[in-house]
Structure 1
């Protein structure tokens, strides 16, 4: 549909490692990432990549896949590399189960830039900046050449 409307380039962001979200770990009673859910996210992303390659070969649509999964996973495994000090809890409330509107009246951490997660499911602005920086580098390399 987009191609018929004139789109020549498409950027798709993959899903994150769902099993590493503080809410998921809290609900499962785990301190570490839930591998089964991460595998589902990884498999879903692999299907996205395969379909993007198909679009590229069949109709000539230039595509870029932004790998949010690996970027967030790397930040969780090695937070200090990215300037984070907290990769298991969110900045809002207890950091384990509050998200979105449930964070509205909660205490927040003093420095969100030190956290991978803002709430129990969403990355912080700093984490998004890291993902976007990598995305822009890919876009510049692939689309603007």
Structure 2
């Protein structure tokens, strides 16, 4: 499983919103922080290549790579098309550093949105169940190697039944 587009998380967007003008210029059209997303993509590319590298060293095993980065990024780019109404703000009220929080987790006794399935992010960093369901569905059945590589879970299950 890849690292998600952390530069698009509400926590990072909020931190950079209150930072220097130079950091604000490093945003893309979706208001994501490019530098963090580039770092995540570099890691993810190496992780994907490990699937091919490790396979000969682990006979009898089947490895696959799920590109949650791409799946979430596609949702953020086209939230309405993917069934979401809010792609930049968390579902819950996140406790800031000045409130004794970490900018990620929900504030104790804070408000929570009425419909979590409309939001991409539940808190400052983590995707909602609705996003995770889309990732799981893609991992199970996607035939796109940019989403699941080299095979999906459904194909993996078919391989397992032939042993």
1:22-51 deviations in Å (ceiling 9; x for gaps): 100111115710001000000100010111
TM-score (norm 1): 0.83
**Root-mean-square deviation over aligned CA pairs:** 2.0
Match of 2:88 in 1: 88
Alpha-carbon distance, 1:95 to partner: 9.2
Residue 69 of structure 2 corresponds to which residue in structure 1?
A: 69
- Structure holding more helix per residue: 1
Q: Deviations over 1:2-41 (max 9, x none)?
A: xxxxxxxxxxx11100100010011111571000100000
Distance across 2 between alignment mates of 1:109 and 1:57: 48
Residue segments in structure 1 that go unaligned for 5+ positions in a row = 1-12
1:53 aligned residue: 52
Specify the SS of the correspondent of 1:133: helix
Do 1:92 and 1:107's aligned partners in 2 also have CA atoms closer than 8 Å? yes
Q: CA deviation at 1:144?
A: 1.8
Normalising by structure 2, report the TM-score.
Answer: 0.74
Which has the larger Rg?
A: 2
